[in-house]
Structure 1
């Protein structure tokens, strides 16, 4: 699967690859894979965007003398690519799940292997060097009915034509109700236009995260005001703390949701996460815990 992730500041080509183990049934061979993979890399290396190849290659790249791994590493070197995952990613050992980028692309960092999954493969997490899409601002026109003075509103209805000059014709009476009540609402709760930021729902966002974010902003303001190196270091440490808390909260939330799902609900959940029903790009929302 191949798709492009784009924002105003950057663009990344992401390729998800799965190499099934060769067998007599699927008639796949290592030579066929390398032929197709080399053809893919010929196109990938000239893409005018940063490139990430990720997936289960079923190659023991951690074994130095494995012939398949040696051939695979040579193909990557010849294409100017580098592999970032270090450590076993399968329950039986070996590094099978890979993250590959061009050597000239400084696109990913903080690569981690997450072993606490129900799958026989570990999940791989990393930071992608692309900014979050800018917030979308929308203009809304509403009435502030919360501040409506109910006693005054009722009093004005009592003084209006609805209480004193009702028409007997049904159509005229309906129009009279509409005109009088609309006029009174325009007086007591007029339409107001305001611009708001469209924010996505984050069910994992807790009070602890909210407090940690306040502390982070407070540290940032102190550093900007003083310009001291010690305050800059304190701010960056708080950023790391907040980022770790946020990742832990997201992971725990998805784990709880998955644990409560049957097979049908699990498909719906994955579809909801992969295709959120809103106008913002949500590519950075990922399902880090996999379940059979």
Structure 2
């Protein structure tokens, strides 16, 4: 086995990035540990200790046993008892609070352009997701197109490339757009969350609340005329409720962010089509409805 001491800084950084993309969040010992043997040894030690203590108690005169002590003697014994060592508490990761949300709102509102908003998001350090992500994934494409496509959050490919909808999901989205005469250079691509969660998990409600001001400000600055929302998480984020993407897809709804109201249509995420190719028929119906609205 190769030790980390034998690796160059570049090799070690590449290895850590590989583990991060795989969802690894904790580093363990380099040498294997037999926890079953440790447990058996500890159990045997506890058994021997209890047996010895019991034997000593049986050898004491009746007047010196704990059961025979009363009144002042019992209180004196209790007062001389050595306090048990405090059990160390593992440090907890900081939980974002209302102040973090307020600072996110302030940072977002202070941005007067998409470039300033990108800089504000990259400088923001009060969201736990930022600490585990390799890159801040901001919008990509043409803000002047009037068409904005918003997914849930970056995946491993997006985090590596620093751009939304990379890898296989991006290729599938390219095919979806091409089917209605669009491509990624003629739309604005973005995500609700700008940082990839560890292991591609769903962001917590608190993490979502912290990121909300940034995507809402992004919509206000880009001023799209039409929104295409992709997947469960993004659909629930914008429309509210707990309905699945299959329940909200294909229906136009108005999204209001600040003073901006934009018509939005939800459809399946490219990953949904990769996981269940039979869903392509529903996505195709939604894309045709989106194209008809663009042409109308």
> TM over 0.5: same fold?
no
Greater fraction of residues in helix: 2
TM-score, normalization by structure 2: 0.21
TM-score, normalization by structure 1: 0.21
Higher relative contact order (CA 8 A, sep 6+): 2
